A = this chain, B = another copy of it.
């Protein structure tokens, strides 16, 4: 057994903060113990002095390759943004573009202490290759969109999502898991939604889709099917082993249904604000017993992948939505960004405890904006930034040490992304 010790720091636990070393089984990617004095036994050590060891953050909803379009599009609402701005460029993306954009996103995730990500995109093999190289964990899927396609094209999308979910599951030594991912209840036709539900169940794969992101996504379902979208999804069998993104415009009955069906929600406060979609009722969802994780959504509607920023956004808009300064407090936000997201993705991560996956980050507390120290969770949510992360460990491997990203040549990734992004925009405008 080869071991890694994270030494000299304090460790954020659900019940408080303890001064402890963290001993990790690198091969199993598992935490062996969290206590003082275990460092001596380790083959390798990582200094966490003056730092806070936190669970690796979980980005529960992303489209990583869209990093190529960061800052590209004009500030428009979701539908116009997708069809007029982003879509035409994405339509030109080849596998190498998706790989380049996903690598750029992974570098950014690692640099902000994220160790697991949920990703819905196309050219999923390229996404998986980049994830394999990154050392991170991921729940990946091919996003099915049928409303813009003929019958053969629609069927091909469903087939591809199933093929990907079967083929890539367990890849990268088990770091990659998959889901069947119909894009949304309005971008996928009813028979294909039903088919995706049925075939994902047969294949034993979970489901992930966008739900109730905008009013414009809710209204057609209510008009056409005379029921709320979440009830519609339930009727189609989509609320089985699934987690949804957004859930901005959900009524009380839908909150209850999500709770009853044990369907988690990936809350994406920044994207929902930037596209003026609205604010998800996170306080209500959590009180109803729904597991909530945090997602950045694609980097083009955010426009970064810093989950610390997303924590801050979640706390801020949660208070605005409820008109209650006590809503969505810091401890709830930390839980969402760690254990909540891990539960959605189905990884035993999100906690720095013996037996859990060795996914963690070390936050450097030695900074003016993190001084003085009254309440560490409050500092993490409201004052810290991804740039305060000193080390990132995923699956027992050090993927960033002293802000040096190990699995990628950062400069080469950035140059490739810039070239690919520029070329794609040029192709789209031809």
Q: Which residues of A contact B (CB under 8 A)?
A: 67-72, 74-78, 81, 104, 107-108, 111, 270, 273-276, 278-279, 302-306, 309, 312-313, 315-317, 319-320, 322-327, 329-330, 366, 368-369, 371-376, 378-379, 382-383, 385-388, 410, 413-414, 417-418, 421-422, 425
Q: List 20 A-B contacts (CB under 8 A).
A: A71-B375, A71-B378, A71-B383, A72-B375, A77-B324, A111-B368, A276-B320, A276-B322, A276-B323, A276-B324, A278-B320, A303-B378, A306-B369, A306-B385, A309-B309, A316-B317, A366-B414, A368-B413, A372-B421, A385-B386
A379 & B70 in contact (Cβ 8 Å cutoff)? yes
Do A383 and B303 touch across chains, with their CB atoms under 8 A apart?
yes
Residues from chain B with a CB closer than 8 A to the CB of A410 are: 368
Docked-complex contact A417 and B371, CB < 8 angstroms: yes
Contact A319 B75 (CB under 8 A): yes
**Are B368 and A108 in contact (CB-based, < 8 A)?**
yes
Q: A418 vs B422: C-alpha distance in the bound complex, in angstroms? A: 48
Contact A304 B382 (CB under 8 A): yes
A-B pairs with lowest CB-CB distance, top 7: A71-B378, A303-B382, A372-B421, A273-B316, A387-B387, A276-B325, A72-B374
Further 14 A-B residue pairs, CB within 8 A, beyond A81-B325, A111-B369, A320-B320: A70-B374, A71-B373, A74-B326, A75-B329, A77-B325, A107-B368, A273-B316, A273-B317, A275-B319, A276-B325, A306-B385, A313-B316, A374-B421, A387-B387
Docked CA distance A418–B375 (Å):
13
Check A325–B76 contact: CB distance below 8 A. Answer: yes
Which residues of B lie under 8 Å from residue A278 when comparing CB positions? 320, 323
Closest Cβ of chain B to A307, distance in Å, is 12
Return chain B residues, CB-CB under 8 Å to A368. Answer: 104, 107-108, 111, 410, 413-414
User: How many angstroms from the CA of A320 to the CA of B214 in the assembled complex?
Assistant: 12
Name which residue of chain B comes closest to A76, CB basis: B325
Q: How far is the CB of A300 from chain B (nearest CB, A)?
A: 9
Contact B325 A382 (CB under 8 A): no
Within 8 Å by CB of A303, from B324, B379, B414, lies B379
Q: How far is B372's CA from A323's CA once the two chains are assembled, in angstroms? A: 37
In the bound complex, what is the Cα–Cα distance between A77 and B322 (angstroms)?
A: 12
Decide: A374 and B425 in contact? CB cutoff 8 A.
yes
Expressed in whole angstroms, the Cα–Cα distance for A376 and B70 within the complex equals 10
Complex Cα–Cα for A151 and B81 (A)? 59
Residue from A320, A385, A418 with most neighbouring chain B CB atoms (10 Å): A320
- What is the bound-complex CA distance between A78 and B319, given in angstroms? 12
Q: Is the CB of B276 within 8 A of A422?
A: no
| With contact pairs A71-B379, A385-B306 given, residues A108 and B319 touching in the complex (Cβ less than 8 Å) | no
State the CA gap A385–B385 with chains docked (Å). 8
Cβ A275 vs Cβ B369 within 8 A: no
Most buried by B among A67, A68, A372: A372
Q: Are B279 and A320 in contact (CB under 8 A)?
A: yes
C-alpha spacing A185/B81, complex, angstroms: 43
Which residues in B have their C-beta under 8 angstroms from that of A71? 372-376, 378-379, 382-383
Question: When A69-B374, A316-B274 are in contact, do A304 and B369 touch as well, CB less than 8 Å?
Answer: yes
CA distance A33 to B369 in the complex (A): 34
